[in-house]
Amino acid sequence: MTAAQQRMLAALKGLSVGEAYGQQLWQQVQTGLAVAEQPSLLPAPWLWTDATLMACSLVDHLWHYGTVHSAALAADFALRYTPIRDYGTAMHTLLAKPRDGAAVMSDAQNLFDGQGSFGVGAAMRAAPLGLFFAEAPLSQVAQQAQLSALTTHTNPEAVAGAVAVAVAGAILWRERDQPLRQPSAILNEIVQYLPSSSLEHRLALAAAMNDRQMWHHIALRLSNGYQHSAQAIVPWCLWCAVHYRDDYAAAIEQVCAAGGNVTSMAAIVGGLLAGTLGRDCIPPPWLRAREPLPHWFLASLGIETD
């Protein structure tokens, strides 16, 4: 197993545990419990959703190809589609039957009257890609993230979300053993690789806000995950990941404290932090509670357990 593959797997593990954690919180919200309740009080297994499943396809793809072949990846997303995994409405429509990847991508372009989806799905699965390419030029990381996003999400906001998460993962990994830069410097560096978009503007705004004590105000300014769009979710996620980049659990708890789409937010932050810090940063009780990754995925990679 190469170092790049190890980083990618660590990011996938962190993504899946974060998503499963967030999903437990989301279920508590839906049943009227306070979001501050600890999901560790809930019985295992903690189930992951579509972000983990699609990230498994992306990791498997990069494992075998070493680069993104968009049509092949889109076809695998459709092949692995599992209705119970809580996909967004547009993705249910797009992936409901196995078919040629080019057809999937064509239909993705036509979603929402030709505007494409600006949902957060492409960003949710992007952290493992960023860690896989972490030693490549950041322009290449951004290009590969764009190719991965366009399989299902063609709106510039969704593409910007995937690029932002992937580039963030690469930067955080590179700086893991370096003197800590100011969070604002890291966020501003990520902004340089984004297409012109609302997400770009909001991430630049995030870079200007550094007071952790004002986190609730910051989350509201960045428009946290009460909307399911990439531009409403990714900036707050990256603010938390950069400000709490040395503590997986603290970063996830912070991003979820704002409420909203905690499943998506915890997946993004979990992938970034575990990919940067390594798999051992994940609290063992959380990892034990998370359901195993799919059998087909482990078999394809030739590993017995995740």
Nearest to 263 by CA among 20, 11, 4: 20
Q: Taking the alpha carbons of 293, 62, 270, 173 in that order, is the dihedral positive or negative?
A: positive
Q: 89 among the known binding-site residues?
A: no
Q: 50 among the known binding-site residues?
A: yes
Give a three-class secondary structure readout of the chain.
CCHHHHHHHHHHHHHHHHHHHHHHHHHHHHCCCCCCCCHHHCCCCECCCHHHHHHHHHHHHHHHHCCCCHHHHHHHHHHHCCHHHCCCHHHHHHHCCCCCHHHHHHHHHHHHHHCCCCECHHHHCCHHHHHHCCCCCHHHHHHHHHHHHCCCCCCHHHHHHHHHHHHHHHHHHHCCCCCCCCHHHHHHHHHCCCCCCHHHHHHHHHHCCCCHHHHHHHHHHHCCCCCCEHHHHHHHHHHHHHHCCCCHHHHHHHHHHCCCCHHHHHHHHHHHHHHHHCHHHCCHHHHHHECCCCHHHHHHHCCCCC
Nearest to 29 by CA among 20, 39, 14: 39
Q: 113 among the known binding-site residues?
A: no
**How far is Cα of residue 6 from the mean position of the Cα atoms in its chain?**
17
The one-letter code for the residue type at 215 is W
Binding residue numbers for Mg(2+): 49-50, 264
Binding residue numbers: 49-50, 264
